[in-house]
Amino acid sequence: MRLIKLSKDYLLSKKYNYLFCIISLCSGLFITLAQPPFYLFFLLPISVWGILWLLENSRSIRQILFCGWLCGFAYFSSGLYWIGNSLFAEGSGQFIWLWPFSFLGIPAVLACYIALLFLLTKHFENNYTRAIALSVNWVFIELLRSYFPLPFPWHLLGYAVVWEDNLLQLAAYIGVYGISLLLMLISSLFYYKASRIFAVFLLLGSWAFGHKQLSYSAAIEEQSQGYIRIIQPSFSMDYFSSEEARKNAVTKLLESSSQPSKKKLDLIIWPEGVFPYTLHKNSGWFYVLGNYFQGTPLLMGSDYLSMDSKEDVFYNSMFFITPTDWWRYDKQILVPFGEYVPAKSYIPFIKKIARGLGEGFTHGLKPSSPFTIFANKKVITAICYEIIFTSHFYPLAAQADFIINITNDAWFGDSIGPAQHLAMAQLRAVETALPVVRAANNGISAIISPQGKVLQRLSLNKDDALDYEIYKKSSGETFYHEFFIKIFAIITCTFVIMHIVRLRIFLSLRCRK
């Protein structure tokens, strides 16, 4: 027994011992496994218990920072490993040398946010205040890494509820960040014996509230928004290597779009990145595509060359084309290092990974209102990962009939990336109370209801078309979007006030000593 005790004391006395490392790594990994596409929800409280154990037992600032960083590294490397696939997508091997940075470097940088989380939470020593502090700090860190220094709100904890329809309805009131806070709070309260009953009531109450909202939505009359066709051609990223291949791609798109349908189509949608030619305002393609489908309008993605300035300016754009007219939407939120190089004047040696031309794409402007398509229907447009930004849909959601998201997820390869991307679109549907029409080059194309349910989908890497009638329940603007700014302000103010109070208590105790 004495030998066992001495061994245990020795183990716990080591700064970066195996026990701390294993718990840190498992905690980060388990949070990933609780999220899409795995949805092993029961692992979430286990991971949070590990985090709280680390906070309680770490003995120095260096140790808590190391454990936090290790937890974050496991979390981000397991959830974002697919980023490295984009380096091999076009088959040239030009960017293979960047793979260690994408697989190890990006998670290592993002892990610093979790290290900061551990540091901010460590100083809250009371059980219940630490549970609350961990929850508030977690969601504040998620907000911080979503927009600073580069925009990337991927792999947020709130997406862990997408598998459960009732809990998913909470997004209409508190959004993905509010759900992150709620899940972290419930999991933290389960760690402490005295608060477990409260945690159970909080979880069941949240579920019951969401169930009631689903029942209420079922009673609202549905309104048809139109009959649409989504084309999923499943082109590989190196498909357009020759002029003949580009012509074959256009032929395939035209033939797939022209197949007979059960009823008259109101709209045909092509995904991002499947039209192989760059368009400009005098392009003859607008006439060809506008008149090819016998009056049915086409919505598609393509590169656009603006010739309104002295220098060529390229946009990643979405086009709505009819026999008589066309409009375009330019992507506002570009992928860093994929579609543009941040601070390129300081790091000119870094080449773009995407197929962008010249100096990359230019950021588009945020529209002041939704776009009008067939039958005066209003849509909010989102290209690729713009769908993951909850702010992208504020304040336009109240004026729109549905959301159209076109994307090219072939960059992800056969990974968890496309399923994660789809889950984010599902939660945006609930936040906005709008149907989401999702057209993806290689999948996962889908029709998503305003309650976040996938009504119909096309499997990953499947070459197919999807015809579906879109319906909307006229329930009005969600609470989340009505009080969007206030919710973010409340989270930020809570974070600031909480740490000011803790700092004053710390200084007061220090003065007494």
User: Above 90 in pLDDT, residue 36?
Assistant: yes
Identify whether residues 44 and 103 lie together within a single domain: yes
Residue 341 counted as domain residue: no
Averaged over 306-310, what is the pLDDT?
A: 75
- Is the residue at 356 inside a domain? no
Give the model's pLDDT for residue 202: 94
Per-residue pLDDT band for 352 (boundaries 50, 70, 90) equals low
Residue 154 included in any domain: yes
H/E stretch holding 11: helix 2-13
Residues 55 and 166 placed together within one structural domain of the fold? yes
**Following CA atoms 130, 131, 137, 141 in sequence, which dihedral angle do they give, to the nearest 10 degrees?**
130
Residues 268, 203 share a domain: no
| Residues 412 and 472 both lie in one domain | yes
State the pairing for strand pair 378-383/402-407: parallel
In a domain, 351, yes or no: no
Residue 355 lies in a domain: no
User: The domain that contains 238 carries what CATH number?
Assistant: 3.60.110.10
Residue 6: pLDDT above 50?
no
Same-domain pairing of 176 and 286: no
Amino acid 348: pLDDT: 55
- Across 333-349, average pLDDT: 72
pTM > 0.75: yes
Question: 142 and 272 in one domain?
Answer: no
* 465 and 369 within one domain: yes
pLDDT tens, position by position, 217-273:
876 767 888 899 999 999 887 777 788 889 999 999 999 999 999 999 999 999 998
Q: Which domain holds residue 212?
A: 12-217+484-512
Give the per-residue pLDDT at 355. 45
Does residue 59 sit in the same domain as residue 196? yes
Q: Are residue 124 and residue 190 in the same domain, yes or no? A: yes
Tell me: do 202 and 254 sit in the same domain.
Answer: no
User: What is d(CA 214, CA 209) in angstroms, rounded to the nearest whole number?
Assistant: 9
Residue 360 covered by a domain: no
Q: Is residue 347 part of a domain?
A: no
Classify residue 242: in a domain, yes or no.
Answer: yes
455 and 489 fall within a common domain: no
Coil, strand or helix at 351: coil
Q: Are residues 233 and 266 in the same domain?
A: yes
**CB of 28 closer than 8 Å to CB of 70:** yes
Q: How many domains does one find in the chain?
A: 2
> For 123-195, where are the alpha helices, taking DSSP H only?
127-147, 165-168, 171-191
> In this predicted model, which residue has the larger pLDDT, 471 or 168?
168
Q: Per mean pLDDT, which range of 62-76, 94-108, 404-418 is the poorest? A: 94-108
* pLDDT for the residue numbered 9: 54
User: What one-character DSSP code corresponds to residue 273?
Assistant: T
Contacts of 357 (CB under 8 A, 6+ apart): 278, 303, 312, 314
Among 289, 279, 211, smallest CA distance to 257 is for: 289
Burial of 504 (0-12, 13-18, 19+ CB in 10 A): exposed
What is the Cα Rg of the chain in Å?
A: 25
